[in-house]
Amino acid sequence: MDDEFDASLIAVAASAAALEALCGSLVVREVVAGKKLGENQPAKIRESLKLVFVSRPFNDGWTAEFDWLYDLRDPAIHHREEPKKTVPHRSLGVYTGPEYVHYSTESADKAVHLMLDVLRWCVGNPKPAVPAARTWAEANEPVVANLESRWQPA
């Protein structure tokens, strides 16, 4: 269980960090400078990406997925020790701390899948009105393809 927990925690945090890095990239900074973005990190990321990339997925379902990712990422990064009731672990059939359920193989797969979906969408759908977005997409398409080729979902 500890190995699964550790790996999932890293996958969740790294997936969120990759999305933040995408929004911190030069192509996004050029466009979002001075614009009012969302109130929390997932909203800021979505709103930033809408300014640079064609935004259909950001409006059609990624809101809940981004919120889910940051609901896991935030306590992993800003952890507080608090006693919690045990919960059943889906694949092991035992009761354990909720962290072992939240940070599981399923969560790791979901986090990485979301991050790769966002990256794939962005390299494939830069806004035509933002030339720097097209340049960024062309330069980063091979990087995204490499990440996709290395990901083997459970």
DSSP 40-72: SHHHHHHHHHHHHB--HHHHTTHHHHHHHHHHH
Q: What is the pLDDT of residue 37?
A: 77
9 vs 79 pLDDT, higher one: 9
pLDDT of res. 104: 84
Interval 31-90: pLDDT, tens:
777 777 778 888 888 888 888 899 887 777 888 999 999 999 877 776 667 777 777 777
The band of 96, judged by pLDDT with boundaries at 50, 70 and 90, is confident
Give the helix/strand (H/E) hosting 114. helix 105-124
CB 101 within 8 A of CB 89: yes
Find the farthest-apart pair of alpha carbons in the chain and give their distance in angstroms, rounded.
54
Q: What pLDDT score was predicted for residue 80?
A: 66
Token pair of 112 as six digits: 């990485």
CB 110 within 8 A of CB 142: no
Q: Is 34 left (phi over 0), alpha (psi -120 to 50) or beta?
A: left
Mean pLDDT of 10-21: 92
Q: pTM for the complete prediction?
A: 0.83
- DSSP bridge pairs for 96: 87
